[in-house]
Structure 1
């Protein structure tokens, strides 16, 4: 019974990954932010780096969260945009 439960949980988890959008456009007051979700998914391979509770919507997604989480990760890894104009397109 446990094996069946874990197998089903795994299928649901990976099905959720397959359904995730390739690119997400976030409206921002300084310009639209285009987020290449699939690219991040493939590169990081760990949803919990952004989604603390696993796949799904990010409850606190907003300016403060994005600047702390996204920009912080880009700075830490030495990859990805960190300047305002790199993310916020007018």
Structure 2
């Protein structure tokens, strides 16, 4: 029974990842941010790098979380945009 539950959970998590939008647009006062979810998913391979609890909408995600999580990751990995205009497009 436990194996069946694990198999179902694994199948559901893969299905959620497969259904995730390829590109997400986040509205912002100084220009919307277009986030390529598929590209990040393929590069990171670990949903928990961004999604602490489980795949899906990140609870409490906003300006402060984006700057800490996204910009912080880009700075650490020395890859991706780190300046305002590189993400925010009017």
Match of 2:27 in 1: 27
Kindly indicate whether residue 17 of structure 2 is the aligned counterpart of residue 17 of structure 1: yes
Show the 5 A alignment for 1:46-57. Answer: 46-57=46-57
Q: Which runs of 4+ in 1 moved over 4 A?
A: none
Q: For residue 54 of structure 1, report the CA deviation from its aligned partner.
A: 1.6
Distance in 2 (CA, whole Å) between partners of 1:9 and 1:50 is 19
**Gaps spanning 5+ residues in structure 1: where?**
none
Task: Indicate the residue corresponding to 1:2 in structure 2.
Answer: 2
Matched positions, count: 90
Q: Give the TM-score normalised by structure 1.
A: 0.98
* CA RMSD, 1 decimal: 0.5
Q: How does the TM-score come out when normalised to structure 2?
A: 0.98
